Chains A and B, each alone.
Chain A
């Protein structure tokens, strides 16, 4: 059964770069059937789509974050990563790594990591 696990610092200082890695087990990220991506949720608030990467390396970002976001993949390690630069307190959130299904018209997000809380504070 495919599983996703986020890892990275739980505390980041303002103006620095948030870096998270998602390790995928039970399946390969090098598949044309899926997108791999990130969604975040500030404490007590709703869900925000950050962006996705396809096996080809194509990336798709939320325009509201695009200037600060980079999503990359390492197929040899079966991992993908998120970097968010110049963070502020507004970036404090639970960050989920996720899988989306390409072959279904609505490309639903069917698998989620457990989520990791990242707090931006000095």
Chain B
């Protein structure tokens, strides 16, 4: 299985900050990387697909980059509703695997 490692596991920031979450794959996955946002008690929501493509309806303050084994999710200016948990997921091979999650908290 491909292991996905997110860092940090938790992050404290303030409204308006720019933050970056990193996801590293244990082997090459090209651009087969998706990012999801999950709010408490809700299903995850697709933010970014194919490493850098913004899902329809997602605010442009979210962006993704990377290829190969190293990827980042950047939120350019944090809004209050962004303080929640984020997951990366690889789709290069089966089984599909997720990172352990990054919890973004208000400082």
Contact = CB atoms under 8 A, between A and B. Distances in A.
Contact of A108 (B34, B87, B101): B34
Contact of A47 (B31, B53, B98): B98
B7 interface: no
Nearest to A65: B95
A46 B34 contact: no
Interface size class of A (residues with CB under 8 A): 20 to 34
Main SS at interface, chain A: loop
Interface stretch (A18-26, A73-81, A83-91, A111-119): A111-119
A60 B50 CA distance: 21
B49 A104 contact: yes
Given A46-B100, A96-B43, A113-B43, A108 B91 contact: yes
B8 interface: no
Contact of A60 (B89, B94, B100): B94
Contacts of A105: 30-32, 50
B42 to A, nearest CB: 8
A7 B49 CA distance: 28
A106 B43 contact: no
Interface in B22-48: 30-34, 36, 42-46
A64 interface: yes
